[in-house]
Structure 1
Amino acid sequence: MSRIVNGRLRAATAQDCGDLVRLWGLLFGDVAATTNEPWRQHAAGWFTRLVDDADNARFPVIEVDGAIVATAIGTLELGVPNPYCAKGRTVRLMNVITLAEHRGHGFATTLVLDVLAWARSVAADRVDLSATPAALPLYAKLGFTMTSAPRMKLVL
């Protein structure tokens, strides 16, 4: 386990589920607070299934004084090999969050670097993410580039 400024980086465990679901809820602000809560149960079940599956997911957390104050998620997605992803192995980086009172200590950078190291260890071709405008400088600093592919979704 690495030591970082005022915090400790470690892999999440099943016991961290409640704390992580609460942190993930902060990413969605008022939407998480005003929508039905089934997403939290689904998120907890999903996390519980993947937390110990190091071949398919990585859940780094940073603790300060024994409390989780930052986290990120990396999941391996298998797709069709193509010119942009020769092996078809893409890591999706998501849910990078640091509690507001703990920002500015490099925790997000530490978490992203942890997921990138894991992505290399599972022989991923690339790492994809969606970012808020405020987070773009962090990802650019780490070598991420904007793509020309528009992102669309259909909610079922």
Structure 2
Amino acid sequence: MNAGRLRVATKSDGDDLLELWALLFDERDAEAPWRTHAAEWFARYVDDPDTARFPVIEDDGAIVATAVGTLELGVPNPQCVRGRTVRLANVITLPAHRGRGFGSALVLDVLEWARSIEADRVDLSATPEGQRLYERLGFAHTKAPRLKLVL
């Protein structure tokens, strides 16, 4: 990783993370309802290392990259012996800071956290641009189809 400092987010980073998440979803509406829910969710879980992990990369005093790991509890099964899955999401690096290893550092941080809380696996959805990063770090495509119903 070139320059930048990896650290865990704090409550005071909430506004900066919301802006990065807005970029990730190409959401320009500053008044969008999701922002209030996301801010409340972040404030609730940022200090709960048993449930969530929020690594950030800081460069020249500004957060330029982040990722989120959240623990999901499910029924234990052959593919998830303890029923503990970490969902890796919201991995984003500002365009001017890409290509410096920040994404890899963030993902590796979440993987280390997942092991420390005895998760069975880490699941994610990847954009075509992000697939190489995840494959390089050992993630594999699954045969399970993914479906979604928006309520």
Normalised-by-shorter TM-score class:
over 0.9
Segments of 5+ residues of structure 2 without an aligned counterpart are none
1:100 aligned onto 2:95:
yes
- Counterpart position of 1:23: 20
The total of aligned residue pairs comes to 151
Q: For residues 34 and 98 of structure 1, what CA distance do their matches in structure 2 show?
A: 20
- Counterpart position of 1:37: 32
1:137 aligned onto 2:136:
no
> Following TM superposition, by how much is the alpha carbon of 1:5 offset from its aligned partner in structure 2, in angstroms?
1.7
1:150 aligned onto 2:134:
no
Identity %: 68
CA deviation profile, 1:97-143 (whole Å, cap 9, x unmatched): 00000000000000000000000000000000000011111000000
> Following TM superposition, by how much is the alpha carbon of 1:28 offset from its aligned partner in structure 2, in angstroms?
1.0
Per the normalisation by structure 2, the TM-score is 0.97
Q: Among residues 23, 27, 47, which one is paired with 1:52 in the alignment?
A: 47
- Counterpart position of 1:76: 71
Q: For residues 15 and 55 of structure 1, what CA distance do their matches in structure 2 show?
A: 20
Segments of 5+ residues of structure 1 without an aligned counterpart are none
> Following TM superposition, by how much is the alpha carbon of 1:150 offset from its aligned partner in structure 2, in angstroms?
1.1
Q: For residues 30 and 141 of structure 2, what CA distance do their matches in structure 1 show?
A: 31
More helix by share: 1
User: Larger relative contact order (C-alpha < 8 A, sep ≥ 6)?
Assistant: 2
Counterpart of 1:155 in structure 2: which amino acid?
V
CA deviation profile, 1:44-63 (whole Å, cap 9, x unmatched): 00000000000000000000
Q: For residues 132 and 2 of structure 2, what CA distance do their matches in structure 1 show?
A: 21
Q: For residues 67 and 33 of structure 1, what CA distance do their matches in structure 2 show?
A: 20
Counterpart of 1:79 in structure 2: which amino acid?
G
Pairwise CA RMSD of aligned residues? Answer: 1.1
Q: For residues 41 and 117 of structure 1, what CA distance do their matches in structure 2 show?
A: 30
Q: Among residues 63, 84, 89, which one is paired with 2:84 in the alignment?
A: 89
> Following TM superposition, by how much is the alpha carbon of 1:34 offset from its aligned partner in structure 2, in angstroms?
5.1
Per the normalisation by structure 1, the TM-score is 0.94
Q: For residues 25 and 81 of structure 1, what CA distance do their matches in structure 2 show?
A: 34
